[in-house]
Chain A
Amino acid sequence: MDGSSSGIQEPFDLIRLSLSERVFVKLRGDREMTGILHAYDGHMNLILSDVEETIMIVNEGEQATVNVAKRKMDMLFVRGDGVILVGFYIV
């Protein structure tokens, strides 16, 4: 790899390096969550713990406002086909 400091061979390596770390997941349906990643597979099914989910509810109307609903869960299975992006905080 040219200049890549992380030595990743394929995209799933990026996820493998983040096991037991807190990750940020963007999902379909205007949902986001953060949680500790325990497991994943080729479908992007995820097992997360200590999860906080944020749901964006857009109010269509004269004034388009966005409401936010949050909920917390101890342990969660996320089905892979809903996953858009998995982000890792090294910023």
Chain B
Amino acid sequence: MDEYPPPPDDALDTQTPPPPPQPRTTHTGSPTDFLKGVVGKKVIVRLNSGVDYRGVLSCLDGYMNIALEATEEHVEGNVTNRYGDAFIRGNNVLYISAAEEI
């Protein structure tokens, strides 16, 4: 009859699993917290039409209407227009992305 040695103690699943690794940039918080953190920073705003606008975020509101300073319009990678200040109507906005570290 084969006698196997008893399994070592640490093979039993009595230990709690180690905590999952923390992501390097912990952005825990609501979207509102992100928006508060990104005001005054350089952002990329992509519209539903695929056009990008890069500029410094002056402010925004709950409809995602956006006020940008020093705005560049990028269409398919090319800069097509520059505006000193720009207001973007919120319904056109697909996303707002931070272009620099918050």
Mark A residues whose CB is within 8 Å of B: 1-4, 6, 8-15, 18, 24, 44, 80-81, 83-91
Contacts and interface: CB of A to CB of B under 8 A. Distances in A.
Contacts of A84: 47, 49, 88-89, 92
Nearest to B60: A11
Contact of A8 (B59, B71, B86): B59
B65 A8 contact: no
Give the interface SS of chain B, mostly helix, strand, loop or mixed: strand
Given A11-B67, A12-B65, A88 B86 contact: yes
Contact of B89 (A1, A4, A44, A91): A44
What's the interface size class on B, roughly?
Answer: 20 to 34
Interface in B73-102: 81-89, 91-92
Contacts of B59: 1, 8-11, 13
